[in-house]
Amino acid sequence: MVLGGIAIVFIIVAQYAESSRGISSAYLLKWFDARGMVRSPQPGSVVEFVNPGLFVLTDKGAIQWLLVYSVWFSVWAMLLALWAEFKLEDTLYLGAGFTLGVLALELFSLPLSFLAIGIGAIAVFALRRERHA
């Protein structure tokens, strides 16, 4: 249930950042520079091009990270809800976890959320039918 809530927050922040950042705004670079976390180039120094490191941080990269983890957390929220159904745990957590996961996916992609609802409904139906048979 918590993963679904975190996924919703991540995807809302990512969508807001994507809509407000503009083209090549470099907001993160400016934020780090204002706090003294980035070295400014020396006056009169020569510009050199280097390969970006593995952990390069850009606005686009941060937004991509938020989107990837929001989808990842929402999928895990839905899978853990189905696992709770399999283990015969309280259905309150099953419903809330699955619903929050689907809501996060809905913010990301509407067809993907409908697919997740369908797959989840079929899985719950199969688990409950097997249990009562």
pLDDT digits (tens, 9 = 90+) for 10-40: 888 888 877 776 655 677 777 777 877 777 7
Higher-confidence residue of 106 and 17: namely 106
Higher-confidence residue of 42 and 6: namely 6
Read off the pLDDT of each residue in 103-130 and give the average, rounded to a whole number. Answer: 89
Read off the pLDDT of each residue in 39-63 and give the average, rounded to a whole number. Answer: 73
d(CA 14, CA 8): 10
For residue 78, pLDDT over 80 is answered with yes
115: its two tokens: 């697919």
- The H or E element spanning position 10 is helix 2-20
Are 77 and 3 spatial neighbours (Cβ–Cβ below 8 Å)?
Answer: yes
The answer for 109, left when phi > 0, alpha when psi is -120 to 50, beta otherwise, is beta
Read off the pLDDT of each residue in 32-52 and give the average, rounded to a whole number. Answer: 73
Mean pLDDT of the chain: 81
* pLDDT in the model for residue 115: 93
Q: Residue 38 in 3-state DSSP?
A: coil
Per-residue burial over 89-109, b = 16 or more CB atoms within 10 Å of its CB, e = otherwise: eeeeebebbbbbbbbbbbbbe
* pLDDT in the model for residue 33: 75
For residue 91, pLDDT over 70 is answered with yes
d(CA 109, CA 46): 46
Which long-range contacts does 118-125 make (Cβ < 8 Å, 24+ apart)? 120/78, 120/81, 120/82, 123/82, 123/85, 124/82, 124/85, 124/94
